[in-house]
Amino acid sequence: PSTGNAPLFDTADASGSSDSDGSVVSYRFDFGDGTIVGPQASSTATHTYAAGNWTANVLVTDDRGGTATASVPVAVTCGVITGPNLVGNPSFETNTTGWSGNGGGTIQRVAGGFDGGFSLEIRGPATGTPKFGVNDGPNWVASTPAAGTLYRFTAWVRSSAATGKGSLRVREYQGSSQKGVTTESPLVTLIPAWQKVTVDYTATIAGTTLDLQVLDAPAVPGEVFQTDNISIQIVTVRSCADRAPAVTAPATATVQAGSLLTVSVTASDPDGEAITSLTADLTGLPAGNDAQFSSPSPHTSGSLTWTPAGGNARPAPYNVTFTAANALSGSATTAITVVPPNQNPTAVLTISPSTGNAPLFDTADASGSSDSDGSVVSYRFDFGDGTIVGPQASSTATHTYAAGNWTASVLVTDNAGGTATASASVTVTSAGLGPNLVGNPSFETNTTGWSGNGGGTIQRVAGGLDGGYSLEIRGPATGTPTFGANDGPNWVASTPAAGTLYRFTAWVRSSTAAGRALLRVREYVGGSQKGVTTLSPAVTLTPTWQTATVDYTAAVSGSTLDFQVLDAPVATAEVFQTDNISIRIVGGGQAAPQITAPASPAAVVAPNPLRPDATVAFTTSREGAVSLRIYDATGRRVRTLLREAHMPAGRHAVRFDGRDATGRRLAAGIYFYRLEAGRESTEGRVLIIK
């Protein structure tokens, strides 16, 4: 052949030479690499070529001494590397998927294959002798990766009776437009034995399809032949020159002093030759280092480990060079930067409130934690009673404590993995409670002693906290005023003495609503209110039963206590349920958390809804710290407008621009404000519309 891999055995044939007035009597072959055969009478000569591009020549002499020459180029490569077969159905062992008849040929799967149990039989047209065969469809090469990609197409062919000539044809298309030139393999005369036909094709552009046909140029009409073991492979020509091994290692690496560094490297030879060694030059590391490098046979990978000492930290990197070798060598360098050890963060934890009666709802706040050389990224709260929250990104967590002395702790983690802890004590008192003063606490029979409030309507419904029924309250069909259930007549008809402490409790839930349930207590003598209106902490309604609790201390004796279970809704006609309501005299301990409505004038938000911002106006009765916070409908704090701000007694105003703590504008919806001034506090709603 004129092309092939080294060593390439070739036959030079000059038998086609002729002489018009005599005869050729002598042939002298010069193979172009220094090898000469002849002069001789034989018209052929053989030679084995090494890799390279050569030109073979022949000098022919006739019987009268006349001469002539001819030449042929010969290209010999160092070999090729072939990729996987791209043909999805090369041997027809199951079906003929991916192939169709071409040029009037019909196909069928038949027994007997080149390397399996079956092959593809193609029968030509019954009349005429046009070329026919089989075509791949859709094309197995659907998109060429790049111009210059070399493909090798191969098929085995045979025929029991035909004597036509088999070949391969390859065409390149972009859409319906042909690119490059139609390329065909040398013809093979069909015989009963299997023969191989091969052709190479180089893609002219990227993104094209390659159309393959296995053809027969028949000698007679209706000729039949078989094909099998068809392949299409990407071919990479090996270089004849020996190339050095290649090492792959990270260009840079960073490690903290005192921490273990591991650097992984790999090595390969582009010519497929074995790697005899893979080493690391550690002379660039500090004296006395504990660095080690290992690379087991066959030395295609290695690993460097090093734990820098505390004094090794510096801005300039340390260079380590990795070298792979066989007959040649190649290397790569990693620049290692050692930074100072991580400084652990500082943990700060506050629990609010730190004392109170069971059940005590607490907020753990670790937002005061800090990190001098980075940032705190994780908080894990352990409330000391078996309850753990986190690790989490949020710096706060909530928990309800039972009676006892507890120690809450937080584990904070910085961005480099450093940790710190802080703890805080919590004391929860178990108060002695008297009998339940509510005559109809669970609505097992009727709704006696209760009525709707704020436009709410009540009814007894199936499904209770601890019985078969509960009280359902439905809000007004328009607007979102606070509504609920009111005790009437009041269950506490006459307080025995000033200073008597009462605990009011109700369980609440809602299947669909997301408003905020709360309790309200007011004290009256006749039509005159005594003391201050007292509210419980709000509870965001969920389908699960939750408890709302508030304590109230009677201001005078002989008064009545008006009690309401309320919902501050987020939608019209909200529905919620309440059950297992109790009012008990507290015989000891400390008061439960409560919100005392401030003396008139109350806080006012205007305009409400915001357009696009508003002013929160309020009055404080005494000098002291004031906090004003905004919450969404789920109870999540979204903005702190005032935090322990020292203010004199009097009228104040704070602007709210409708944005959260990050400066982003809040979504449309209902929000709540909570104003705390000393021991006084109040809540209200803020509406944001778009």
Give the model's pLDDT for residue 239: 62
**Residues, the chain, total?**
690
Q: Give CA 446 to chain center in angstroms.
A: 55
- Cβ proximity of 121 and 213 under 8 Å: no
Q: Is the pTM of this model over 0.85?
A: no
- Amino acid identity, residue 200? D
- Which of 298, 309, 300, 305 lies closest to 320 in space, CA to CA? 305
Name, in order, each residue with C-beta under 8 angstroms of 656's C-beta and a sequence gap of 6 or more.
Answer: 605, 610, 613, 614, 615, 616, 630, 639, 641, 673, 686
Q: For 370, which DSSP code?
A: B
pLDDT digits (tens, 9 = 90+) for 40-91: 999 999 999 887 789 999 999 999 999 999 999 998 877 666 789 999 999 9
pLDDT above 80 (res 238) = no
Number of CB atoms found within 10 A of residue 302's CB: 22
Question: What are the strands of the beta sheet with 650-656, ordered from one edge?
Answer: 604-606, 614-620, 650-656
- Stretch 227-253: mean pLDDT: 87
pLDDT above 70 (res 430) = no
Give the model's pLDDT for residue 594: 44
Give the model's pLDDT for residue 241: 67
Q: Check: CATH 3.30.470.20 for 246-339? A: no
The SS3 call for residue 89 is coil
Q: What is the band of 647 on the pLDDT scale with cuts at 50, 70, 90?
A: confident
Number of CB atoms found within 10 A of residue 591's CB: 17
pLDDT digits (tens, 9 = 90+) for 138-167: 999 999 999 999 999 999 999 998 789 999
- Stretch 254-267: mean pLDDT: 94
Give the model's pLDDT for residue 431: 60
According to CATH, what is the number of the domain 450-596?
Answer: 2.60.120.260
- Stretch 300-314: mean pLDDT: 94
Name, in order, each residue with C-beta under 8 angstroms of 566's C-beta and a sequence gap of 6 or more.
Answer: 453, 454, 482, 483, 484, 517, 518, 519, 520
Lowest-confidence pick of 69-83, 88-102, 178-192, 264-278 = 69-83
- Considering only the C-alpha atoms of the chain, give the largest distance between any 2 of them, rounded to a whole number of Å: 153
The SS3 call for residue 455 is coil
Per CATH, the homologous superfamily of domain 350-429 is Immunoglobulins (2.60.40.10)
pLDDT above 80 (res 537) = yes
The SS3 call for residue 310 is helix
Dihedral through CA 627, CA 628, CA 633, CA 637, nearest 10?
-60
pLDDT digits (tens, 9 = 90+) for 317-337: 999 999 999 989 999 999 999
Distance from C-alpha of 244 to C-alpha of 292, rounded to nearest angstrom? 25
Per CATH, the homologous superfamily of domain 81-237 is Galactose-binding domain-like (2.60.120.260)
Q: What is the mean pLDDT of the chain?
A: 89
pLDDT digits (tens, 9 = 90+) for 99-128: 999 999 999 999 999 988 999 999 999 999
pLDDT above 80 (res 491) = yes
Distance from C-alpha of 13 to C-alpha of 11, rounded to nearest angstrom? 6
β-pairing, 396-401 with 329-339?
A: unpaired
**Alpha helix ranges (H) inside 38-94:** none
pLDDT digits (tens, 9 = 90+) for 568-617: 998 899 999 999 999 998 865 444 444 444 443 357 777 777 767 787 87
pLDDT digits (tens, 9 = 90+) for 509-526: 998 878 899 999 999 998
Q: In this structure, which CATH number among 3.40.640.10, 2.60.40.10, 3.30.499.10, 3.40.50.740 belongs to the domain 3-78? A: 2.60.40.10
Distance from C-alpha of 331 to C-alpha of 384, rounded to nearest angstrom? 57
Give the model's pLDDT for residue 596: 41
Q: Which helix (H) or strand (E) holds 679?
A: none
Q: What is the band of 448 on the pLDDT scale with cuts at 50, 70, 90?
A: very high
Q: What is the band of 465 on the pLDDT scale with cuts at 50, 70, 90?
A: confident
CA distances from 145 to 149, 150, 234, 318, 348 (A): 7, 10, 10, 41, 59
According to CATH, what is the number of the domain 604-688?
Answer: 2.60.40.4070
- Which of 340, 394, 341, 344 lies closest to 372 in space, CA to CA? 344
pLDDT above 70 (res 389) = yes
Sketch the domain layout of the chain as residue ranges: 3-78, 81-237, 246-339, 350-429, 450-596, 604-688
**632 against 173, higher pLDDT:** 173
Distance from C-alpha of 571 to C-alpha of 670, rounded to nearest angstrom? 9
Same fold flag, 81-237 and 246-339: no
> Tokens at residue 125, please?
């047209």
Give the model's pLDDT for residue 592: 43
- Stretch 407-425: mean pLDDT: 93
β-pairing, 3-5 with 67-77?
A: parallel
Q: Give CA 243 to chain center in angstroms.
A: 40
pLDDT above 70 (res 690) = no
- Stretch 1-21: mean pLDDT: 87
Give the model's pLDDT for residue 595: 41
**603 against 39, higher pLDDT:** 39
- Counting residues of the chain whose pLDDT is more than 70, the rounded percentage is 95
Distance from C-alpha of 301 to C-alpha of 277, rounded to nearest angstrom? 10
- Counting residues of the chain whose pLDDT is more than 90, the rounded percentage is 62
Placement of tokens 């004129």 in the chain:
2
Q: What is the band of 294 on the pLDDT scale with cuts at 50, 70, 90?
A: very high
- Stretch 390-417: mean pLDDT: 91
Classify burial at 324, counting beta carbons within 10 Å of its beta carbon; exposed 0-12, middle 13-18, buried 19 or more.
Answer: buried
